[in-house]
Amino acid sequence: MTIGSFYPPQRTLMGPGPSDIYPQVLQALSRPTIGHLDPLFIGMMDELKQLLQYAFQTQNTFTIAVSAPGSAGMEACFVNLVEPGDKVIVCRNGVFGDRMRENVERCGGVAVMVDNNWGEPVDPTLVAQTLESHPDAKIVAFVHAETSTGALSDAQAIAKLAREHDCLTIVDAVTSLGGVPLLVDEWQLDAVYSGSQKCLSCVPGLSPLTFSEKAVAKIQRRQVPVQSWFLDQSLVLGYWSGEGKRSYHHTAPVNSLYALHEALVLLQNEGLENAWKRHKDAHLELREGLEQLGIEFVVDEAHRLPQLNAVYIPDGIDDAEVRKTLLERYNLEIGAGLGALAGKAWRIGLMGYAARSENVALCLRALETTLK
């Protein structure tokens, strides 16, 4: 058998990620590859750090892109900050809060769960009560934007509670970075990770990450080595810092970092507040059309993510058949429900380049026709 080249169709990606990629970002991928220790590439990495600092709204010196997807960014936070025996308050209101629990336990930590219903934000009152009951806790971990439900939690309020109890915070911002306000320094968040393929509209496979000085200090005080060599940030630090030179750690995904640089330049040129407004405006257009179709949202409006819209599947509708029809007839991808929402909800993404009126119009027209 002879296998030929692979040519994917031109899809419109309106699921939970990856999102549509900016044409300029795809073009950046095709630029000539240079060595990952080339002085010009090192200069580009320095610019990338500054662009990430803008996106995160932080001056944290340790702000990098992990050479792996958001799941590795999550693991990098936990394996570096959680030592055996550490008690961690883990907020769970969807799939990704539970993944935090798994990380804590694999690190030998003790996970104390704060549970909220799927579709609800994390309740700061429950966090406060749990912190009072566990004064020896060292970390509070929560998902800012829960991708499985489309719920947005109050990161500022939760972080304030954590500080009052002398705890660090680990924050999942995979779906929030670039789509809704995320103010790392103002809210005093300690370890925040994200993904390249959501509201940044870059290729999958990179995880923006930022650590506060408090987080870095905890890593430096560790009594036992980090259990992961690749994700040990004390080793990576020498790779992402230095006066015009780098210590070798791994071969960076050179062209993917070109793409992330370009995506962040586009975000900088648009301006964060304009990007947040564009996502909100696209959500309002989508909401109006979905309500006309009688489709209801999973999350109350006050806590709803504009870039990730979880909606209930109407009664009598075949979930998989609708998504298959959208993909085959309209080249349109929307997401299935996860966990408790599997088979009950769709997840419609309006992330980054996908947050446009023409995408909203296509989705509404395709859904209306398919549902009929």
Q: Specify the pTM.
A: 0.96
Q: Mean pLDDT in the chain? A: 96
Distance CA 101, CA 88 (A): 9
Predicted local confidence at residue 11, as pLDDT: 97
Residues of the chain with pLDDT under 50: none
Q: What is the pLDDT of residues 61-72, one digit of tens each?
A: 999 999 999 999
Residue 15 near residue 333, CB atoms below 8 Å: yes
Q: What is the pLDDT of residues 192-210, one digit of tens each?
A: 999 999 999 999 999 999 9
Going by the annotation, the residues of the binding site for substrate are 347
DSSP 334: -
Going by the annotation, the residues of the binding site are 347
Domains of the chain (ranges, CATH numbers): 12-18+272-371 (3.90.1150.10), 23-268 (3.40.640.10)
Predicted local confidence at residue 95, as pLDDT: 96
Provide the pairing of β-strand 168-172 with 191-193: parallel
DSSP 85: T
Predicted local confidence at residue 247, as pLDDT: 73
Predicted local confidence at residue 239, as pLDDT: 73
Q: Which two tokens stand for residue 121?
A: 């934000």
Provide the pairing of β-strand 87-92 with 110-115: parallel
CB < 8 Å & 24+ apart, contacts of 127-136? 127/89, 127/91, 127/158, 127/161, 127/162, 128/161, 130/89, 131/89, 131/161, 131/162, 131/164, 131/165, 131/167, 134/87, 134/89, 135/165, 136/87
Q: End-to-end distance of the chain based on CA atoms, in angstroms?
A: 43
Distance CA 231, CA 293 (A): 46
CA angle 83, 87, 88 (to 5 degrees): 95
Predicted local confidence at residue 64, as pLDDT: 96
Per the DSSP assignment, residues forming a β-bridge with 114 are: 91
Predicted local confidence at residue 240, as pLDDT: 75
